[in-house]
């Protein structure tokens, strides 16, 4: 089956004239695909990587873009010539669309890191004392340890499963979602504080 996958590196908030809708597509082999049709657009024509809204499913290159299928933060494009059926599962509320967009955006936004040194520099004999960790940061990172998989990507996956697939989060996951902004602040600080890998200097050639 011909499938086009696209991952977005930058998200732009767009006000849709129509609500986003949950859609399930079944291909000719019987495989289901569940995702979001943004703005309620269920027919588009793809020509040279460009998409235009259409109304004829039988037109050449006509298909549907399903956003957030599986763990994608972009879309999968399925041509109607390879589709057996489509089902509209319901509309997303404005709040759900905004929450989903935020969840997918944070997974693509890396924590700020110190600039890495690209050449050898003298190391001072004495180093300034490490800053005292914020007790609030330490507390939330203890509750949601990074080394146990609590991170922005997990936040995005929890929200995607809840909104797109209607899979309710566990009590712990819901608490993580509710406190994510607090967690993200502590997470970014922890990531930024990690030591940079020393630069590897190449031997001089004569």
- pLDDT bin (cut points 50, 70, 90) of residue 199 is low
Give domain limits for the chain. Answer: 3-91, 94-112+132-193
The reply to whether the predicted model has a pTM over 0.85 is: no
What would the mean pLDDT of 113-124 be, rounded to a whole number?
A: 46
Maximal C-alpha separation, the chain: 73
CATH architecture designation of domain 3-91: Roll (2.30)
Residue 15 has pLDDT above 50, yes or no: no
What would the mean pLDDT of 9-18 be, rounded to a whole number?
A: 46
List residues bridging with 77 in a β-sheet: 4, 65
Which of 191, 186, 195, 199 lies closest to 127, judged by CA?
A: 195
Whether 3 and 76 have beta carbons less than 8 Å apart is answered as yes
């Amino acid at each position: 089956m011909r499938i086009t996958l696209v991952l977005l590196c930058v998200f732009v908030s767009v006000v849709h004239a129509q609500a986003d809708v949950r859609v399930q597509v079944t291909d000719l082999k019987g495989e289901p695909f569940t995702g979001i049709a943004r703005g309620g657009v269920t027919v588009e024509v793809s020509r040279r990587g460009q998409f235009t809204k259409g109304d004829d499913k039988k037109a050449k290159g006509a298909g549907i873009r399903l956003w957030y299928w599986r763990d994608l933060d972009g879309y999968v494009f399925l041509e109607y010539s390879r589709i057996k059926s489509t089902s509209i599962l319901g509309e997303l509320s404005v709040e759900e669309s905004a929450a989903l967009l935020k969840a997918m955006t944070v997974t693509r936004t890396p924590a700020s890191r110190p600039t890495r040194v690209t050449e050898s520099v003298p190391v001072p004999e004495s180093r300034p004392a490490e800053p005292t960790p914020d007790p609030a940061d330490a507390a939330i990172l203890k509750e949601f340890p990074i080394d146990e998989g609590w991170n922005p990507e997990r936040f995005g996956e929890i929200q995607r499963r809840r909104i797109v697939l209607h899979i309710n989060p566990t009590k712990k996951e819901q608490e993580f979602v509710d406190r994510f902004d607090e967690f993200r602040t502590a997470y970014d600080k922890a990531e930024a504080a990690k030591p940079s890998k020393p630069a590897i200097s190449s031997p001089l050639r004569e």
